[in-house]
Amino acid sequence: MAKGAKSRTLIVRLISSAQTGFFYTTQRVRQGPKLSAVKYDPVVKAKVLFVESRKTRK
């Protein structure tokens, strides 16, 4: 069997560092650095750091 081509982008999950379980889903370039961003977490009603984790399949 031949291997398929890999896509240029990955779907990643940005998980709240406040450990509320809230997350955002976004895309990033496969070769790029890991994402982290300061975004709004509605559970704690504040801006917190979100760090990247791979999106898991259900």
pLDDT tens-digit series, residues 7-55: 888 889 999 999 999 999 999 998 888 889 999 999 999 999 999 987 6
So what's the pLDDT on residue 53?
A: 84
Tell whether the model's pLDDT for residue 58 goes beyond 80: no
Q: Which CATH number fits domain 9-52: 1.10.357.10, 2.20.28.120, 3.10.20.30, 3.30.30.60?
A: 2.20.28.120
So what's the pLDDT on residue 57?
A: 60
Reported for 18-23, long-range contacts at CB under 8 A and 24+ positions apart, including other chains, are: 18/43, 18/44, 18/46, 18/48, 20/44, 23/50
End-to-end CA distance of the chain: 26
- What does the domain layout of the chain look like in residue ranges? 9-52
Q: State the greatest distance between any 2 C-alpha atoms of the chain, in Å, as a whole number.
A: 50
Note the pTM of the prediction, 2 decimals.
0.77
So what's the pLDDT on residue 1?
A: 61
Tell whether the model's pLDDT for residue 2 goes beyond 80: no
